[in-house]
């Protein structure tokens, strides 16, 4: 086991000169469903025709929007016996917005969680498992970064360490979703793909990295319309999914210079334990709810895909995560005091 007191020096760690404000040569992306999986494009039998329900299905008592943020506070590079090592001081934040669908339509933040972690990739022998306290020269509370074997991978590339941070954030999101699923008559939206089964949870995928249906089926969708339900994958990982165009009817995307697929988002639910009739009812419900909570381009550059409750939650999480520049300086001072090359 390496000595925690000399861990940084033994592995010749230093701050990555590439800087946190720049994308890595290999970009880290959202974890996505494999597009090579089996796709059944029309399990609902709409034959490519858009659907906009005439009657609104019964509303749940409350909507819950769950999202997380991850931030690299400082990236590290090192070397051990000729092998490259990579690491990152990272902060993740996870929380929820709960909207009670009563006459007041009140919304509240809840269950905000902030975790600071260290993640490493590369062949680091006997990595210590402990907490690193980054002090503040002005006397405020230290920042506690924790790391263990779950945040270490032997792959010698910088993205692997950051992928571990992303996976941890996703796990915290699903943990929160399971805790909130016990609330009566609710509908849970998770920002991004689903990675664990939860019957009443919907994955809200706003970035189209892969296309599962014909572009012609998507191009002509109007605001509040959806495609037919299709399925992705097979067995215990099979998903129900559908596309919808977000935004209000009076939002002229073409006049604003957006392309024809702008505003298209994909939603997904696990097939296991979720009958098609239930998914159809929820899919119809999203044709009303998604445009209702869609952001506007004058306030959010990711509009209308980004939802207003999610955008507000991201800002709230950022407030709890702290000022990135100040934290980066604190880490740099900490590493310099320990004999690291900065």
The pLDDT tens digits of the residues spanning 222-246 come to 888 999 999 999 888 899 999 999 8
- More confident site: 272 or 315: 315
pLDDT level of residue 103 (50, 70, 90 thresholds):
low
Mean pLDDT for the chain?
Answer: 84
Domain ranges of the chain: 1-30+71-184+322-342, 32-60+186-306
In Å, how far from its chain's centre is CA 265? 15
Please name every residue paired with 117 in a beta bridge, in sequence order, or none if there are none.
90, 146
Rounded-to-integer distance, Cα 89 and Cα 73, Å:
5
DSSP 101-159: -STT--EEEEEEEEEEEEEEES--TT---EEEEE--TTSPPPEEEEE-GGGEE---SHH
Question: What is the end-to-end Cα distance of the chain in Å, rounded?
Answer: 25
Task: Map residue 279 onto helix, strand or coil.
Answer: helix
Q: Lowest-confidence range among 258-267, 269-278, 304-313?
A: 258-267
Environment class of 86 (CB within 10 Å of its CB; exposed 0-12, middle 13-18, buried 19+) = buried
Supply the pTM of this predicted model. Answer: 0.87
Q: Which H or E element spans position 232? A: strand 230-232
Q: According to the model, what pLDDT value does residue 92 have?
A: 96
Select from 167, 213, 191 the least CA-distant residue to 40: 213
pLDDT level of residue 22 (50, 70, 90 thresholds):
very low
What proportions of the chain, in percent to the nearest 5, are helix, strand and coil?
25, 30, 45
pLDDT level of residue 23 (50, 70, 90 thresholds):
very low
pLDDT level of residue 20 (50, 70, 90 thresholds):
low
Which of 178-188 are b and which e, b meaning 16 or more Cβ less than 10 Å from the residue's Cβ? eebeeeeebbb
* Location of structure tokens 């941070």: 165
The two structure tokens encoding residue 323: 């000022």
332 phi/psi in degrees, rounded to 5: -60, -40
């Amino acid at each position: 086991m390496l000595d925690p007191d000399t861990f940084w020096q033994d592995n010749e760690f230093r701050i990555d000169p590439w800087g946190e404000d720049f994308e890595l040569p290999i970009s880290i992306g959202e974890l996505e469903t494999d597009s090579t999986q089996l796709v059944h494009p029309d399990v609902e039998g709409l034959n490519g025709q858009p659907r906009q329900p005439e009657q609104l299905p019964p509303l749940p008592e409350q909507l819950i929007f769950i999202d997380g943020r991850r931030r690299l506070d400082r990236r590290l590079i090192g070397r051990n016996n000729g092998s490259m090592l990579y690491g990152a001081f990272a902060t993740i934040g996870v929380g929820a917005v709960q909207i009670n669908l009563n006459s007041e339509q009140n919304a509240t933040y809840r269950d905000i969680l902030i975790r600071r972690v260290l993640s490493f990739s590369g062949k680091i022998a006997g990595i210590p498992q402990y907490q690193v306290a980054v002090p503040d020269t002005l006397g405020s509370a230290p920042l506690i970064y924790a790391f263990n074997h779950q945040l270490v991978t032997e792959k010698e590339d910088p993205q692997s360490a950051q992928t571990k941070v992303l996976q941890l954030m996703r796990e915290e999101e699903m943990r929160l979703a399971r805790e909130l699923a016990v609330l009566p008559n609710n509908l849970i939206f998770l920002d991004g793909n689903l990675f664990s089964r939860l019957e009443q949870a919907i994955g809200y995928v706003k970035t189209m990295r892969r296309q599962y249906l014909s572009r012609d089926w998507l191009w002509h969708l109007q605001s509040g319309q959806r495609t037919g339900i299709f399925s992705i994958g097979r067995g215990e990982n099979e998903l129900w999914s559908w596309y919808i165009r977000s935004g209000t009817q009076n939002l002229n995307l073409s006049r604003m210079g957006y392309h024809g697929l702008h505003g298209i988002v994909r939603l997904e639910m696990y097939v296991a334990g979720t009958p098609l009739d239930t998914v159809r009812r929820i899919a119809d419900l999203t044709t009303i709810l998604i445009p209702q909570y869609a952001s506007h381009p004058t306030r959010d550059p990711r509009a209308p895909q980004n939802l207003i409750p999610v955008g507000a939650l991201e800002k709230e999480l950022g407030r709890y995560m702290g000022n990135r520049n100040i934290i980066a300086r604190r880490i740099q001072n900490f590493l310099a005091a320990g004999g690291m090359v900065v």
